[in-house]
Structure formats: structure tokens, C-alpha cells
Amino acid sequence: MNAIRIKYSIVATLVLIAVATCIRPIYPDQLVLQQLGTLVVLLPLLIDLKKNRFSLLAFGCFALFIVIHLIGARWIYSYVPYEDWLSSLFGIEFDSGGAAGRNHYDRFVHASFGVLIFPWIYELLKNRIASVLMVILFTWCVIQTISLLYESFEWLLTAIVSSEASTNYNGQQGDPWDAQKDMTLALLGSSTMSLIYWVSRFFSRADRKAFR
């Protein structure tokens, strides 16, 4: 199966998952607001189906991020029962008291954004910037910028929709530092990927020199 067929299969799977998450919604009042994000993040993949410019790695990572978003949209992030899933799979018991009582799925999503979107942005920029190190740096900066703009969007959302709707969408769960923590996790995720790409570049150059 060639790359473009794999990409079509991935998108078809994403559409099926998206439809499934909308069947008998747990929080019907939040359905439209949560799934608007799905349309936005699906658009780059749909465009690439026609142009086929991105690698399967970048495409697959982007698709995985959408799956993570769809899970969050189904349970509006603040109520994703990941502890129950982990307990069923691995028999791990979680202490839900105190600070541990916060649902951290939204934190996971922001960290995943920094990791999984990095390859896409990197490949988008690599043919426009000559230096690989500069591509890595610019990719890192773009991810921080998107993270900042998204948190600003969440802030503006509070002025448009009801207090309950904005709270459910933003997933703050009473944390006044939620936006800062979310951006920090995106920063950590993208910084980790920057290091991986830089080390990969370093060893790739070393290997080429060794075989000259």
C-alpha cells in the first residue's frame, strides 16, 4: 500500500471515530463547541490528501493528536475516565483525593500537542529555511505561538459563551494557573522533540563522516 492510500485510510478512520464520538453524546450541550475543533484540525490532513507533501510520520502524528482530541471532546476533557481505563488494563489503583482529584487529561493533550505537531511544522518549514538547526528553532517557536494563541482564544471564549460552557470547554477545573501550565507542557513537549531532532541530526552527520 503506497503512502497516499495509507493517508486516505487514516483520514477515513478519523472520520469514523469522529462520527462515533457524536453518537448519543454524554454532554449534548457541549457537542458543537467541542467538535468545532475537530473540523479545524482535520483540515490540514484533508489538504495534504491532495498535495501529498508530508511524510507518513508527520501525517500519522497529526492524526494521533486528533484521536486524542476526539477522546477529550467525547468527555469534554475534564471527565475523561483515563484512570478507570488504566485500572482495567494494568490493575493500577489511583488515589483520587486531594490534588490528585483533578482530571489531568487536558494536561496530557497540551503536552501531546508539543510532541505530535512538531514533525508537521518541521516539514512545513524545512524547505523554506536552509539551516536544519534554524528549522528546529522556528518549529519550536511556532508551537509556542500556537499554544499562546489557543490560550488567548479560550480566554476570549469566556466573554462569548456562558460561564458553564466556557468552564467545561477550557477544562480549568478551578485552577487559576491553568493557561500557564498548559503552555508550559506544550513547551516541554516541543523542547523534547527539538532535542530529539537535533540529536538525530548530529548522529546523522557523524554517520556520514564515518563512511566517507
Task: Give the three cell numbers for residue 57.
Answer: 510520520
Model pLDDT, residue 49: 95
On the question of pLDDT at 96 being above 60, the answer is no
On the question of pLDDT at 201 being above 90, the answer is no
- Are the C-beta atoms of 188 and 114 separated by less than 8 Å? yes
CA distances from 125 to 110, 111, 138 (A): 22, 21, 8
Q: What is the pLDDT of residues 129-160, one digit of tens each?
A: 889 999 999 999 999 999 999 988 888 877 77
CA distances from 33 to 18, 154, 162 (A): 14, 12, 12
Across 28-32, 60-64, 160-164, least confident range: 160-164
Pick from 111, 105, 138, 108: nearest CA to 123: 138
What is the C-alpha to C-alpha distance for residues 120 and 138, in angstroms, rounded to an integer?
Answer: 12
Q: Would you give the distance in Å from CA 205 to the centre of its chain?
A: 30
Model pLDDT, residue 212: 38
pTM, two decimals, is 0.86
CA distances from 69 to 17, 50, 113 (A): 11, 24, 10
